[in-house]
Amino acid sequence: MSESAVPGDFSASENSNLDYWLKAWKENRIGFHRSDVSYLFKTYLIPKLLTATEQKCVVFPLCGKSVDMMAALDAGHRVIGIEGGVAPVEAFFSENKIAYEIEKDANNQCEIYKGVDRPVTIYRADFFAFNKDLPPVDYIWDRGGLVAVTPTTREQYRDCLRRMMTPGRTELFLVAIVYEDPTFSGPPHVLNNDHINELFGSDSSIEFVIKQDETKEFNARFINRSIQHIEEHLYSIIRKQN
Ligand SMILES: C[S@@+](CC[C@H](N)C(=O)[O-])C[C@H]1O[C@@H](n2cnc3c(N)ncnc32)[C@H](O)[C@@H]1O
């Protein structure tokens, strides 16, 4: 494990590229972070949450300190995040003024950050090694998750998502990224329709929801980078019942 690897009681798994991200947080290279709730989240998940008649459980893999989690909480639902860095987890709670308690779970190699008076739990863990049982999950919002990991580890990442998905129940909203730019290879890495079908097609229904041009926003957030054209493609994925 290198010097910058996961602080605390657990080590990063073989598949993880967590060191890269911990360094990015340390150096404040977090152009991926949005200070406002994302358009796709507002348009496609929030309406479902606002019309739900019971409390839903929404999981955010590789959550960073995403403000989309706050929007789900404010809509009255239960939020679970999984994130490897201490800095983003603590920033999420402090920036949103949510008091929290920390529980160590050495057996499962994670630290559990629990909101004291808001239903939010963030597991600080290596996603590839995360094996806690979760309550039944209604929605997974994966933005900046599957596109962030090294492409050779996508199948393992998919398997981690799949473990959280109840067939016929959990709806995975996956924000994929598509661009053509010879000067840039990510992260975020290109995740196109063929990739999605290869990863999820064998046991899931896949619906392409919408695409949106992200070029202007991307270039504004990543100050040292200029990309010719980049799009976000939103998919809804549900595991089929046998
Ligand atoms: C591109 S950022 C996206 C963050 C968030 N989803 C958002 O939309 O702002 C990727 C996040 O995943 C975290 N991460 C990367 N690899 C991880 C791993 N193996 N386990 C847990 N977290 C990881 C990084 O620390 C970083 O916060």
At 223, is the pLDDT very low, low, confident or very high (cuts 50, 70, 90)? confident
The preferred substitution site among 1, 17, 19, 21 for testing ligand 1, maximizing ligand atoms within 8 Å of CB, is 21
Tell me how far apart the alpha carbons of residues 46 and 237 are, in angstroms, rounded to a whole number. Answer: 17
16 CB less than 6 Å from ligand 1?
A: yes
At 9, is the pLDDT very low, low, confident or very high (cuts 50, 70, 90)? very low
Contacts of 134 (CB under 8 A, 6+ apart): 57, 59, 80, 164
pLDDT at position 224 is 75
**Ligand 1: residue whose CA is nearest its atom 6:** 63
Tell me how far apart the alpha carbons of residues 231 and 208 are, in angstroms, rounded to a whole number. Answer: 13
pLDDT at position 15 is 62
In angstroms, how far apart are the furthest CA atoms of the chain?
A: 48
Tell me how far apart the alpha carbons of residues 189 and 187 are, in angstroms, rounded to a whole number. Answer: 5
pLDDT at position 179 is 95
pLDDT at position 221 is 86
**What mean pLDDT is predicted for residues 233-240?**
98
At 222, is the pLDDT very low, low, confident or very high (cuts 50, 70, 90)? confident
Residue 227 or residue 52, greater confidence: 52
How does pLDDT run across 172-197, given as a tens digit for each residue? 999 999 999 888 888 999 999 999 99
Give the distance (Å) from ligand 1 centre to CA of residue 144: 7
Domains of the chain: 18-239 (3.40.50.150)
Average pLDDT of the chain is 92
pLDDT at position 36 is 95
pLDDT exceeds cutoff 50 at 144: yes
How does pLDDT run across 22-76, given as a tens digit for each residue? 999 999 999 999 999 999 999 999 999 999 999 999 999 999 999 999 999 999 9
Asked whether 88 and 168 are in contact (CB, 8 A), the reply is no
The preferred substitution site among 26, 83, 225 for testing ligand 1, maximizing ligand atoms within 8 Å of CB, is 83
81 CB less than 6 Å from ligand 1?
A: no
85 CB less than 6 Å from ligand 1?
A: yes
How does pLDDT run across 202-215, given as a tens digit for each residue? 999 999 999 999 99
Asked whether 115 and 93 are in contact (CB, 8 A), the reply is yes
At 11, is the pLDDT very low, low, confident or very high (cuts 50, 70, 90)? low
pTM, to two decimals: 0.94
pLDDT exceeds cutoff 60 at 129: yes
214 CB less than 6 Å from ligand 1?
A: no
The preferred substitution site among 16, 58, 59, 62 for testing ligand 1, maximizing ligand atoms within 8 Å of CB, is 62
For the CA of 68, the nearest atom of ligand 1: 8
**Ligand 1: residue whose CA is nearest its atom 4:** 64
pLDDT at position 45 is 98
% pLDDT > 90, the chain: 82
How does pLDDT run across 74-107, given as a tens digit for each residue? 999 999 999 999 999 999 999 999 999 999 997 7
| Full 3-state SS string of the chain | CCCCCCCCCCCCCCCCCHHHHHHHHHCCCCCCCCCCCCHHHHHHHHHHHHHCCCCCEEEEECCCCCHHHHHHHHCCCEEEEEECCHHHHHHHHHHCCCCEEEEEECCCCEEEEEECCCCEEEEECCHHHCCCCCCCCCEEEEECCCCCCCHHHHHHHHHHHHHHCCCCCCEEEEEEEEECCCCCCCCCCCCCHHHHHHHHCCCEEEEEEEEEECHHHHHHHCCCCCCCCEEEEEEEEEECCC
Provide φ and ψ at 209, rounded to 5°: -95, -55
% pLDDT > 70, the chain: 93
32 CB less than 6 Å from ligand 1?
A: yes
pLDDT at position 185 is 85
